Structure 1
Amino acid sequence: MKKEQHKQPTTNTNVTTDQAFDIDTSWGAVLNNEAAIAQTTRDTINATLIVSLALNVMALAYALMLMS
């Protein structure tokens, strides 16, 4: 089975196809990591909003209790 050929980077003609493949693979890992960071950020924001909502409900209940 023939190994899939990858384009040579134009900036450095000394880079082999194996090295170019490693570079492509590492960029894929960077992009996956960015996606994971973005998902973690969304999860953190959602958790923060839920806690904030719970505190607001508690504050409203306390205010209503004081008014009655």
Structure 2
Amino acid sequence: MLFLITCDYESFGVRGDTFQVVELIDENGTDYTFVVNQGKPYFSLQEVALDIASSLSVPPEEIELEEI
């Protein structure tokens, strides 16, 4: 299971482009952080889970997310 730690917007780079930063942690304490372009923000845990499943090439039902 993955736990959502943060899903905030941050500015990066010289131009100050805004991106959505998603930080996850698994039950073993391994931290995963990824950045999403502002053109495709996440609005729900389900959307995050679907993208993770797609990236890992696993069925979406294998990805469990819980907000902490």
The TM-score, its normalising length taken from structure 1, stands at 0.22
Structure with the larger RCO, 1 or 2 (CA within 8 Å, 6+ apart): 2
Structure exhibiting the larger radius of gyration computed from Cα positions: 1
Higher helix fraction: Structure 1 or Structure 2? 1
Higher strand fraction: Structure 1 or Structure 2? 2
The TM-score, its normalising length taken from structure 2, stands at 0.22
